[in-house]
Amino acid sequence: MQTSTGLIQEIVLRPDGQHAAWITCPTTTLPEPGQYLSAWAQDDPLAPLATTLFAGALMEERFLALPPLPATWQPGTRLSLRGPLGRGFNLPQNAPRVALAALGASCERLMPLAHQALARGSAIALFTDAPLPPLPAALEVNPLNSLPEVTSWADYLALDLNTAALPRLRNTLGLQHGERLSLSAQALIVVDMPCAGLAACGACWVPARRGILHACNDGSVFALDDLEW
């Protein structure tokens, strides 16, 4: 398992009162869109649990770690990082039309994927009712209730949601009972991952069509057809 050291460069105070952090680290430590890191402050060895970090932006040798973050983290704090961990999004090579949908309170975990798709020349539509971060001008934004229109337009759909949204997902997508999507789709499942794959604690279980899966190792991004929804 890859471990490395990161350094908090900047703490960013957001409009919602939470803090994000720009963290420098080796390029090999940067997570792919949808992957995560496990982190703890080197000057706080007694911290009971590591902090799970998702990126809202990726740059060369640094990333923007999204909240929630420990209040004790400050610029200059050195972090021990484990990862990148889990499975990220697998954007198809031939996907000229990409839809992103955030069903929760944030769309920021989808932003690294948005930039990856834009770099490939894809047209992108974001569906969300969450507050918007700074967005590329080429990214079209739509309310979440217009998501059913995506099935006739997109070649690929990336979702960000928690397990509580899975039973309502078919209705959110405008599908009938038993109907499946006709396009390639993946979902980043947002759930607590306290052991980050080390202890097989089972806390991050996700309902699957064949039993259960665990977000820490089997995800945190899943093929939508593998999930029970």
Taken in order 133, 91, 226, 87, the sign of the CA dihedral is: negative
| Mean pLDDT within 58-72 | 95
| Mean pLDDT within 50-74 | 96
Give residue limits of the domains in the chain.
Answer: 3-85, 97-226
**Structural tokens at position 196:** 């980050």
| Mean pLDDT within 81-94 | 96
- What radius of gyration do the chain's Cα atoms show? 17
Task: Examine the pLDDT at 48 and tell me if it is beyond 70.
Answer: yes
* pLDDT, the chain, mean: 94
Q: What are phi and psi of 29, to 5 degrees?
A: -90, -20
pLDDT of residue 138: 94
Give the right CATH number for 97-226 from 3.30.2010, 3.30.70, 3.40.50, 1.10.3470: 3.40.50
**Structural tokens at position 159:** 């979702």
**36 residue type, one letter:** Y
Task: Examine the pLDDT at 3 and tell me if it is beyond 80.
Answer: yes
pLDDT of residue 196: 87
Task: Examine the pLDDT at 175 and tell me if it is beyond 90.
Answer: yes
The SS3 of residue 56 is strand
Asked, colleague to colleague, whether 3-85 and 97-226 share their fold, the answer is no
Confidence of residue 74 (pLDDT cuts 50, 70, 90): very high
**Structural tokens at position 22:** 């720009």
The Cα 55–Cα 68 span in angstroms is: 12
Give the right CATH number for 3-85 from 3.40.1130, 2.40.30, 1.10.287, 3.30.530: 2.40.30
Residue pair 41/79 in contact by the 8 Å Cβ criterion: yes
Q: What are phi and psi of 115, to 5 degrees?
A: -65, -35
**Where is 189: in which H helix or E strand?**
strand 184-189
Cα→Cα distances 62→9, 26, 211, Å: 9, 8, 37
| Mean pLDDT within 191-211 | 89
Task: Examine the pLDDT at 1 and tell me if it is beyond 70.
Answer: no
